[in-house]
Structure 1
Amino acid sequence: MDRTIIEILEQAGSQDPTTLKIAEQMLRQWETQYGFYTALFKVFSNNSFTINVRWIAVLYFKNGVDRYWRKHAPGEIALDEKEFLRQALIAKFDEPVNQLAIQVAVLIAKIARFDCPKEWNSLVPTLLEVIRGNNSLAQHRALLTFHHVIKALASKRLIADRRIFQELTLNIFNFILDIWNNYTESFILLILSGANDHPLQEAIQKALLSLKILGKLIIHGFPKPSENQRAMLFLKMIFDRIRTILDCRKNFMSRGLEVEIFDKFIIHLTKILQGVLEIHPFCYVDLIPTTLECSVFYCFTEIGQSLVFERFIIQCLNLFKEILQTNVYKPAKVIQETKNLLTLRAHQLKQEFFTLQILKEICIRLVTHYFVLTSSDLEIWNTDPENFGFDDCGESWKYSLRPCTESVFLALLHQFKDIFSNVLVELMQKHYQPVHPNDFRGILLKDAVYNAVGLAGFDLYDEVNFDQWFSTTLKLELNDKSNNYRIIRRRVCWLIGRWTGVKLSAEYRPELYNLMAQALRPDEDLGVRLAASDALKLAIDDFQFNTDDFIPYLERIFSLLFCLLKEVNECDTKMRVLYVLSFMIERVGNGIKPHISSLNAYLPELWQESKNHNMLRCAILSTLVHLEIALGSDSIMLQPLVIKVIELSCDMNQEEYIYLLEDGLELWQALLQNTPYQTPAIMELFKKLPALLESSTENLKLCVYITEAYVLLNPEELMCERGSGIVESFKSIIGDLRSDGIIIVMQLLELCLITAPQSGSQFIKPLLLKIFESVYEGDEYPMVWTAYLTIVARILLNSRDIFIQIIKELSKRLGQEFKEDFVFAQVINSYIDHMPLVTQHKEKKLLALALCSLLDVNSPSAIFKKFPQIILNIVETLNDITKINDMGCSTDSLMIDHHHSPSQFEDVGYETEHSLRKRRVTFNDPVHCIVLSELLQNQLSDLRKLLGDEQFKLMMLEINPDLDQQLKEYISI
């Protein structure tokens, strides 16, 4: 088998797809065979084979551990094979190829996470023994393996596993700390002695591996590191090591040598501090002064900055900010007395450190050094203005210097508002006057100050008269068209956008739109135009936005934004501009109608261009939704594109549907709600709904709303020709729905019964048995009960025949001992008993109308046995819905005035065609066109004639006298 495996492994590295596929199939067949992983081990541990074959062997072994090493896993590796592999993997540490050594180390760590220490108690002692040895290569490989093992064990979170890891930490921490110290001292001495690169690299790599082990141990291995003397000694040593290694790094750079390994070592030192601060903040309290002093020295002094590199500055500033923002260092955030003492101590240490002078220096340094655009920033602006224009977002402060410094600035500002505000005002006053276009340094400083003022907008609310600043200086600076001043023009656009929501009077809004329109001109720098686009988005998004103020500039701005959309090339930038257009359309509504022809012509092209960019397609979908809503019935001009977009977005056979489905469903709903009439293409889309419903209930609500729109748009075609699939889908999922899902489905079924009483009853018939069964059993949530009862009531009103058919089917399902009359009686009893739980007047009247319809001689005897309860429910409903009108007469409050007609409803300005269709259907709803008291009067009169006076009087005597008196207020008997 070994020879065969080697051949298959060679084929698995082939570039020929056919050969590769055959090899993968064969390896997949062997995955659960006894001895397969032993054979793989023999391959990757044998140096005589090619690196490619050994690499594939170790990867398959590693993947097999993930799948088959766990106890009781399907296809679990045999116990004796596991035991052999555990011992074989740690028999020697002499792998010469570093990348393979890493894979083997990760492989051992994966097994250790399952088996160490219970099934593999020899692992850690063996690794420590090799680390103590004199074989340099074996020592490095053992450290590498131990690092991955410790990393794997530290990731376990069960209490028992954490306890084991803590015991392991107590046993090995001092040894690893000594190892780390020795290796660190060694490479420092080697640097000072001018040693060559190889021994130096070897020493620092071992020091880095032992440092990574120490980091996991101190963060995850001590419940409280502050209670272990050597743990705290190590944390305090970190700051001295940082200074020493930075000096060594500078020495190395001066010799023209590579310093990447030094950077990794220093960064990992700071990561350990961050980890302890995050996981053990109370243990970090005594380190707060040293951390702050270190951060300020390296980030805010000339001497310190001569030693550092960008990533280290980011790490220091993030440590600095974390101390500022840690909740347990804020007295008001802590309740427990024991913690409160440490909280007060931390707060006191921060207050003592942040003197007035230090805060001023930090603020000035942040603004005038870190916020200033660099030559590399300007180079990006020149070569790639679209990407330069993006504001960093998310967690970019963790790895990017500019957002990092901005987040530190804001953290300091919020805690030391008065001091920072004063400094910012002084900087504003210093840089208030216009800068000469040739004073490039002055322009950069002004840009940095404006950036700070924009970030601090809400905190400077009382300090800055933005109206005056806007109408004088900022306006003039936007009109300076010199090339260097593009930096100021871009920043002014950004600043106006930030301050619009803070403090800009309504009277200046028109001027803002005018200035942004100027900044959007095609001859303007692209970076400025993008900033103006973003500023407009913020201005339109503000709660003080007034459509009337904006309308005079709408055509011009819309046209300029459209030109910008066509001009930019990056999909992210197109999406950014498109969202501004989309938001503008949303805010101005149908005011956009005269201006969208060009956008409508361009969107199909943009949709085609965005084939491989799903996020841009989501933006296009959002824009189309807003256009549909804004255009109303005129949106018919969009239909060719909209239908094409929906077909792709809602097609489960397309890969893109995962990204586009939700927006596609919203567009589909908007299309149906705004189309004035159905078309074959619109109706053809319906066939996609059943599959969407059956795949997941995640979008149930939207799918139901879309179906509802189809019911109103073309009820007969839907129910008679196209709708059977959707009913079957509802039938298959209704048992899995929660209460809210059942309710919205029942509301859809009720709409079918209102829109087309006869065909609607036939249409939903497959679902009725489940509904009647639920009513029969009587164990549902009240809101669901109401929904079920409305369907039963509609069926009673629409088709007594179908009602009887369902009763017969229910009787058969329950068994022969359940006769039809008994089932009918039980359903009606449940109906009557639960009717008082219905609170909405509309539903209650519907149920009362259905009960009235049963008061005839053709009804089963169960109806007359419940006659007093039926009359009680009807009278209580009459009490609820009867109002006294202006003439002093009693009226049914749910009736639509008989003088109204459908044509008069058309004169009312409804939002959508859909809502108009819904109103027309409502007009024909029995609840709104049948007077309950009149129906009751007619039913009882007919019943009296058919039964005879004597029998009718006997039946009426069963009614409570008080109820009889109330009944006579509504009808005459």
Structure 2
Amino acid sequence: IFMDLNSASSIVLQVLTQATSQDTAVLKPAEEQLKQWETQPGFYSVLLNIFTNHALDVNVRWLAVLYFKNGIDRYWRRVAPHALSEEEKTTLRAGLIANFNEPVNQIATQISVLIAKVARVDCPRQWPELIPTLLESVKVQDDLRQHRALLTFYHVTKTLASKRLAADRKLFYDLASGIYSFACSLWNHHTDTFLQQACTGNEAAASNSLERTLLSLKVLRKLTVHGFVEPHRNVEVMGFLHALFERLKQFLECSRNIRAGNVCRDRLEKTIILFTKVLLDFLDQHPFSFTPLIQRSLEFAVSYVFTEAGEGVVFERFIVQCMNLIKMIVKNYAYKPSKYIEAVEETGGDSWKYSLRPCTEVLFIDIFHEYNQTLTPVLLEMVHSLQGTTNLEDTSAILIKDAVYNAVGLAAYELFDSVDFDQWFKNQLLAELQVSHNRYKPIRRRVIWLIGQWISVKFKSDLRPMLYEVIRNLLQDQDLVVSVNKGCFLLHMFCKNVIDKFCAFKVRIETATTLKLNILLLTKIFRVAVK
């Protein structure tokens, strides 16, 4: 059936068109027919002929690409049942890279992915012309061809970098060393072009150049991180990494003029984040080679996150990435092993890496653990300066106290020998729990959380009746968050030792039963509210 390409194309085209139908009576038989053809010689040549014909319906071409891509997974390898013949594969490989002129973005991406799938099996031994063809195609002046070739170049590089067998790694090392210089010059060219166009206000041209900058940087990321055994010995690799900091500054400054409504804004932020991912990946894979970059990385991250240099240019994801970079340097086992940090991450997973508050808190814990002798006096001085009830009209002072109390709670185990928590509870915290003004809600919430952090670290048992009595009275707090915090806290303590040692608390059985029911009810309300 597939010997005559033209007649076969018309038949397959008709069935593909039926397979895009919303009518199941038409759709199901078409899918069955396509499934039968999957193992027939010549079927994938017909599919290539269809999805490269830009005059056909987009949905039909999209379906042809998907069937082709799925066929690569099932029948491309020589050992696969019903494997494609070497003659047909040679024809298909040539056809896939004949023209990088697909006008539809989604189809262009799928074609790039399927070329990368073929490259994973055949490049470079059976497909030595792929990389040279891509390198020539990204140089052309035609914007569409240049972009499609660069998109394919990225997907091929990404796929080849993911191979893990020793022989495959060696091939990728050879590839990386051969094309790295070209990849750097390509990235620099598109980066300079974008920055010039952004300054002149040409949004459309700047957006196109930024897309090419992003793709070329993605290629460099894979080559830099996975393409060298000892990257610190390669002058071009280290030159690229040092250049990242200057480029990052340029892009951050450029973001001042590219606001939310600009077509470039989202892609610009993605590019800035990609800069940080290159550094994070390189640090993770090559901590020794990263050593010359440590000081500059820390200075850069601290400058933009904690000083005026970042005002008006930083955004939340960038701040999170900078904190991740600081943390990875501080806790990196290649520099300074730490069982404590490992334990923290085992219990918390990786969720902290993607949100600002947990990322900040984990970074604080790590830094405080590593430099507790330096930081403990500073934190204790802050606590001492916040003695007494804070002015209810001073929102800034309330937020500062909340932050300091949060730090003391996070560093509870490190401060065990430095803080007399029992005296602090009686002289300061107990009084703050009893301030009922609405403006003091954040402090009441923070104090009950702080006590929860310290109660298993350092808290005398004879103070617990006083604590429970205060919390019992505050369960009627109109602030649901405060009430639930106290309820959950008491429920936790009931499970630990309240029921077993009830008489020691000098609370009547009737009160305790009512209290426990209130806690369970509050916990249920809290769960419903969260959902």
Asked if Structure 1 and Structure 2 have the same fold, meaning a TM-score greater than 0.5 normalized by the shorter chain, the answer is yes
Q: CA deviation at 1:39?
A: 2.2
Structure 1 residues 451 and 541: alpha-carbon distance in aligned structure 2, compared to 1, 3 A threshold: farther
Mapping of residues 375-386 of structure 1, within 5 Å: none
Separation of aligned partners in 2, 1:15 and 1:443: 61
Q: CA deviation at 1:564?
A: 2.0
Report the identity percentage.
Answer: 45
Matched, 1:139 2:141: no
1:235 aligned partner, one-letter code? L
Q: CA deviation at 1:197?
A: 1.2
Bigger mean CA offset, 407-416 vs 553-562: 553-562
Please give the secondary structure, in 2, of the residue aligned with 1:459.
coil
For the 8 Å contact 1:457–1:498, the answer to whether it is kept is yes
Residue 414 of structure 1 is matched in structure 2 by: 369
Residue 287 of structure 2 is matched in structure 1 by: 281
Separation of aligned partners in 2, 1:21 and 1:533: 57
Q: Deviation string for 1:53-75 (max 9, x for gaps)?
A: 22222122212222222221123
Residue 535 of structure 1 is matched in structure 2 by: 489
Residue 443 of structure 1 is matched in structure 2 by: 398
1:527 aligned partner, one-letter code? V
2:311 aligned partner, one-letter code? Q
Matched, 1:156 2:163: yes
Separation of aligned partners in 1, 2:247 and 2:418: 44
Separation of aligned partners in 1, 2:426 and 2:164: 60
Separation of aligned partners in 2, 1:400 and 1:60: 39
Mapping of residues 501-580 of structure 1, within 5 Å: 501-521=456-476, 524-536=478-490, 538-540=492-494, 546-548=500-502, 549=504, 552=509, 554-568=512-526, 570=528
Separation of aligned partners in 2, 1:132 and 1:222: 25
Separation of aligned partners in 1, 2:403 and 2:198: 40
1:152 aligned partner, one-letter code? T
Determine which of 288, 293, 298 is the counterpart of 1:292.
298
Structure 1 residues 541 and 33: alpha-carbon distance in aligned structure 2, compared to 1, 3 A threshold: farther
Q: Deviation string for 1:265-314 (max 9, x for gaps)?
A: 11111111111111111111111111111011101101223321111111
Q: CA deviation at 1:520?
A: 3.7
Q: CA deviation at 1:465?
A: 1.8
Mapping of residues 162-561 of structure 1, within 5 Å: 162-192=169-199, 194-253=200-259, 258-330=264-336, 394-521=349-476, 524-536=478-490, 538-540=492-494, 546-548=500-502, 549=504, 552=509, 554-561=512-519
Q: Deviation string for 1:110-159 (max 9, x for gaps)?
A: 11111111111111111111112222211111110010000000000111
Matched, 1:102 2:109: yes
2:153 aligned partner, one-letter code? F
TM-score norm. by structure 2 comes to 0.90
Mapping of residues 791-870 of structure 1, within 5 Å: none
For the 8 Å contact 1:252–1:258, the answer to whether it is kept is yes
TM-score norm. by structure 1 comes to 0.50
Separation of aligned partners in 2, 1:20 and 1:520: 62
Q: CA deviation at 1:16?
A: 4.2
Q: CA deviation at 1:401?
A: 0.6
Please give the secondary structure, in 1, of the residue aligned with 2:84.
coil
| RMSD, aligned CA | 2.5
Q: CA deviation at 1:332?
A: 9.5
Q: Deviation string for 1:144-175 (max 9, x for gaps)?
A: 00100000000001110000000011110001
Structure 1 residues 567 and 407: alpha-carbon distance in aligned structure 2, compared to 1, 3 A threshold: closer
Structure 1 residues 88 and 19: alpha-carbon distance in aligned structure 2, compared to 1, 3 A threshold: same
Separation of aligned partners in 2, 1:219 and 1:449: 39
Structure 1 residues 25 and 414: alpha-carbon distance in aligned structure 2, compared to 1, 3 A threshold: same
Q: Deviation string for 1:647-683 (max 9, x for gaps)?
A: xxxxxxxxxxxxxxxxxxxxxxxxxxxxxxxxxxxxx
Please give the secondary structure, in 2, of the residue aligned with 1:327.
coil
Separation of aligned partners in 1, 2:240 and 2:523: 56
Q: CA deviation at 1:485?
A: 2.1
Mapping of residues 640-655 of structure 1, within 5 Å: none
Structure 1 residues 474 and 132: alpha-carbon distance in aligned structure 2, compared to 1, 3 A threshold: same
Separation of aligned partners in 2, 1:328 and 1:540: 43
1:77 aligned partner, one-letter code? L
1:275 aligned partner, one-letter code? D
For the 8 Å contact 1:477–1:488, the answer to whether it is kept is yes
Residue 349 of structure 1 is matched in structure 2 by: none
Q: CA deviation at 1:399?
A: 1.3
Q: CA deviation at 1:17?
A: 4.8
Q: CA deviation at 1:571?
A: 8.4
Q: Deviation string for 1:684-723 (max 9, x for gaps)?
A: xxxxxxxxxxxxxxxxxxxxxxxxxxxxxxxxxxxxxxxx
Residue 79 of structure 1 is matched in structure 2 by: 86
Separation of aligned partners in 1, 2:29 and 2:322: 52
For the 8 Å contact 1:108–1:145, the answer to whether it is kept is yes
For the 8 Å contact 1:169–1:221, the answer to whether it is kept is yes
Separation of aligned partners in 1, 2:298 and 2:461: 44
Q: Deviation string for 1:78-136 (max 9, x for gaps)?
A: 33222211110000000111111111101110111111111111111111111122222
Q: CA deviation at 1:467?
A: 1.5
Please give the secondary structure, in 1, of the residue aligned with 2:134.
helix
Greater Cα radius of gyration, structure 1 or 2: 1
Please give the secondary structure, in 1, of the residue aligned with 2:288.
helix
Q: CA deviation at 1:443?
A: 2.1
Structure 1 residues 511 and 151: alpha-carbon distance in aligned structure 2, compared to 1, 3 A threshold: same
Please give the secondary structure, in 1, of the residue aligned with 2:290.
helix
For the 8 Å contact 1:151–1:216, the answer to whether it is kept is yes
Structure 1 residues 544 and 82: alpha-carbon distance in aligned structure 2, compared to 1, 3 A threshold: farther
Residue 3 of structure 2 is matched in structure 1 by: none
For the 8 Å contact 1:130–1:139, the answer to whether it is kept is yes
Structure 1 residues 140 and 120: alpha-carbon distance in aligned structure 2, compared to 1, 3 A threshold: same
Please give the secondary structure, in 1, of the residue aligned with 2:349.
coil
Mapping of residues 938-957 of structure 1, within 5 Å: none
For the 8 Å contact 2:181–2:236, the answer to whether it is kept is yes
Separation of aligned partners in 2, 1:394 and 1:123: 41
For the 8 Å contact 1:498–1:535, the answer to whether it is kept is no
Residue 594 of structure 1 is matched in structure 2 by: none
Please give the secondary structure, in 1, of the residue aligned with 2:436.
coil
Separation of aligned partners in 2, 1:531 and 1:486: 12
Q: Deviation string for 1:741-775 (max 9, x for gaps)?
A: xxxxxxxxxxxxxxxxxxxxxxxxxxxxxxxxxxx
Separation of aligned partners in 2, 1:519 and 1:20: 65
Structure 2: gaps spanning 5 or more residues: 1-7, 340-346
Q: CA deviation at 1:12?
A: 3.3
Residue 38 of structure 2 is matched in structure 1 by: 31
For the 8 Å contact 2:65–2:110, the answer to whether it is kept is yes
